[in-house]
Amino acid sequence: MSKGQGSSIKVRFRTLPLAALVFAVLAAGAAPAAFAQPNINGETGYINMPSGRVEADGTFRIGYSFAEPYSNILWSSVTLLPRVEFYARYVRIMSPVSASYDPRWANYGDYKDKVASGKLLLLEEDWFTPSVAFGINDVQGTGIFKSRYLAASKRFGDLDATLGAGKGRISGVFAGARYAPKDWNGFALVAEYDANNYRQDYLSATTGVDQRNKGIGLALEYRWGWLGSQLAWRDGKPGINIYASVPFEAKEFIPKLDEPAPDTEVVVRPTLEQWNADPQYQRELTGRLLNQDFKNVHLDVSGQTVEATLTNTRISLPSRAVGRAARSIMLRTPEETRELRIHYTVSDMPFATYTFTDAAQLEHYFNGLESRKELAPSVTVDYAEPQRAAGTSAMPDDLAGYSRTHLDGADGDIVSFRSEGARLDKIRVAPGLGFYFNDPSGALRYETFVNAHYGKQLGSGLFFKSAAQMTLKQNVSGVTQPSNSLLPHVRTDVADYKKNGKLKLAQAVLNKFYHPRQRVYARVSAGLYEEMFGGAGGQVLYFPERASWVFDVSVDSLKQRDVGGGFTFRNYSTVTALATLHYRFLSTGVTAAVRAGRFLAGDTGARFEMKRRFRSGFEVGMWYALTNGNDITSPGSPANPYRDKGVFMTIPLTSMLTRDTQATPRIAIAPWTRDVGQMAASPGDLYDLLEPAYINMHDRDGLQYLGDLDDSYDQPLDSMSLDRIPWEAR
């Protein structure tokens, strides 16, 4: 166990992910047992041993297992790429940490460790050859479970058999078999030859596993829908493994039972002369759009062309939001309309322009008389020009004060209060929960709180954004481990920030967004960026004309805030400057990013990120920082300085709710909280803001769910980047 700082994580109270899992499991019903099932450590295998297989692409698993003296308090795995699986677990060894190790750890309880592993499928199974995989266990950290192995698996009817060999904890030859007849309705029998060298395990003498030899293990498994379980037997002692398996490549898990219906009300359309003579027509259309969660609505009718600039704060796909807006516009604008242009904005920045050159054909599509494939040739999707939104008419005065309030859990919270206006003004109050791991005073500490967010649009592209947090109940104040970092304490004092101050101002910042030219965006910010830093800075982002990369540069002059969440500051000041190149592999959904420059502690270098976005919208990724920050204190050392690293997941709640939402909480976990390779939380990162619209725009023909139905046709995943955007129009 390294003596570094613990890890912290903060989430909002969410009831829907659990409810969605239960609903989806019930909807899925019984499923026959498959051969790629997890062992007690979460890797695809048998009981303790791995197999030569990986799970289906995009499968995420999370579970709990116990086999004395080991308890995987939480394990998870994901098939990040078709041939690549990653595993992580937080394991407890049933033997207390001795006070002789370090007196501060006397109250820590049983020893606990974080383990990361991976597997690469080298050869897929066919009629003559087996499935062959190479795996590495415990690749970072203490390495007390470290091993490497090669395994080959072959299916013989209802029997799957594996033979492999390992080095390290898996020592020598191992084998496994799973018998899963289809008519057993999800049940399976498992047997393995366990080749683990338990004698070399940490604390083996005190736990008694130094007396355990290599040998046979048996298990009974049951798989039902997304849920799986295993009851194992080894050397006279039982073991259990229970888990859920979620297919991230599924488009959604829950039907949209509570989704508001699109606008289909038939009204008498005015003539162009009537529209120009009576502002009530525009007022009614604007109100209709506001009631569908559209904001900053501007309309302009000129001859046979209707032009609209708007955004939507609830619907997750811009193309779907544009389709809903187009329905309402076509129902209420002059009957002479022949062309419709909709400029979709993000944070008041025009991003994409959807041009429908044949209004009659668009109406036929909405009425089910033509397919999306037939409609597509009359639609162009392009990056928006900055001057186009300026020419649209202002919102009617009597609608400028429009507001709606909600008290519900529609965004996945247990309950939240929300108030929204006609512009991008928002008030939101909701509960939250935070955790702090691996302090000597206890493996897990928590805080419960209420977050209050207030946002106000002050002008074109100008926003004030703030957040306050009131702690309800916590035991983080019992954290005893001080930072041992020799670098400026830009993150390792995080426990002091968590435990000081019951009411904190977490953020208070002004953001000004610019769109100076097509495909170029900029931001200037000033104020309290986050819990630990405030200052001023800016960012410029560029989208190339026809390429899969995006480039941005951000520079911030920052000063470290004092604990307590007020307006006082520490003496530490710094300037961060980062240039970032994002590259998206369109056919796989993988995005790689390199951030190079100066980080929070004054260290220079690069941070490498890789993530994959699945069809459900879930994103799973990891990062690794390589800088000249010489972090030699534990968990680093003079011979092996610590490098910041971790994993993250973005959760699109729309896939798990009964109505669409843009809510996408993000969870990030690092093995240790250190000061090297750290970044300040951006008050409005341009790439994060624009990425969802950018991805949607480049998804096949750019018209996903335009008509509120999944009517995709036979287009390759990467066709949008070459065929749909009218580059020749430049």
Domain edges within the chain: 59-247, 272-397
59-247: CATH topology: Porin (2.40.160)
Q: What distances in angstroms separate CA 171 from CA 115, 239, 379, one per listed residue?
A: 18, 21, 62
Residue 546 is predicted with a pLDDT of 85
Q: CA angle at residue 318 from 308 to 23, to 5 degrees? A: 140
Token code pair at residue 359? 């209004």
**Low-confidence winner among 202-206, 390-394, 460-464 (lowest mean pLDDT):** 390-394
Q: What is the pLDDT of residue 713?
A: 76
How much is the pLDDT for 390?
Answer: 41
Condensed to tens digits (0 to 9), the pLDDT of residues 648-670 reads 999 999 998 889 999 999 998 88
Q: Is 77 exposed, middle or buried (0-12, 13-18, 19+ CB in 10 A)?
A: buried
The pLDDT-based confidence of 7 (bands split at 50, 70, 90) is: low
**Residue range 101-126, pLDDT digits in tens:** 555 556 667 888 889 999 999 999 99
- On whether the CB atoms of residues 419 and 404 are closer than 8 A, the answer is yes
- Residue 284, CB half-sphere, CA atoms under 13 Å: how many? 14
Tell me what pLDDT residue 278 has: 95
How far does the chain reach from its first CA to its final CA, in angstroms? 60
What rounded mean pLDDT belongs to the chain?
Answer: 88
- For 72, 339, 621, 658, the CA distances from 255, given in Å and listed in that order, are 33, 34, 27, 6
Whether 100 has a pLDDT exceeding 50, the answer reads no
Q: Are 571 and 489 in contact (CB under 8 A)?
A: no
CA dist., res. 227 & res. 26, Å (int): 10
pLDDT at residue 721 greater than cutoff 70: no
The β-bridge partners of 407 are 417
Sheet (strand 349-356) strand order: 294-302, 305-312, 339-346, 349-356, 379-383
Residue 447 confidence (pLDDT): 83
Position 440 scores a pLDDT of 57
Element (H, E) at 408: strand 403-408
pLDDT in tens, 673-687: 899 999 999 999 999
Residue 566, pLDDT > 70, answer yes
Q: Tell me: pLDDT of 139 over 70.
A: yes
**pLDDT over 50 at 357, yes or no:** yes
Token pair 């287009």 is found at 715
CA gap 111, 214 in Å, rounded: 24
**What are the angstrom distances between the C-alpha of 672 and each of 429, 592, 619?**
31, 23, 22
Torsion angle of C-alpha atoms 254, 260, 261, 265, degrees rounded to 10: 180
Q: Kindly report the CA angle at 263 between 259 and 265, in degrees rounded to 5?
A: 135
Confirm or reject CATH 3.40.1350 for domain 272-397, answering yes or no: no
pLDDT band of residue 475 (cuts 50, 70, 90) is confident
Q: Classify residue 318 by burial, with Cβ atoms within 10 Å: 0-12, 13-18, 19+.
A: buried
Question: Nearest Cα to 703, choosing from 350, 342, 347?
Answer: 342
| Region for 4 from its dihedrals, namely left if φ exceeds 0, alpha if ψ lies in -120 to 50, beta otherwise | beta
For residue 441, what pLDDT band results from cuts at 50, 70 and 90? low
Q: Are 575 and 597 in contact (CB under 8 A)?
A: no
If you average pLDDT over each of 33-37, 376-380, 401-405, 720-724, which comes out highest? 376-380
Token representation of residue 265 = 């009300």
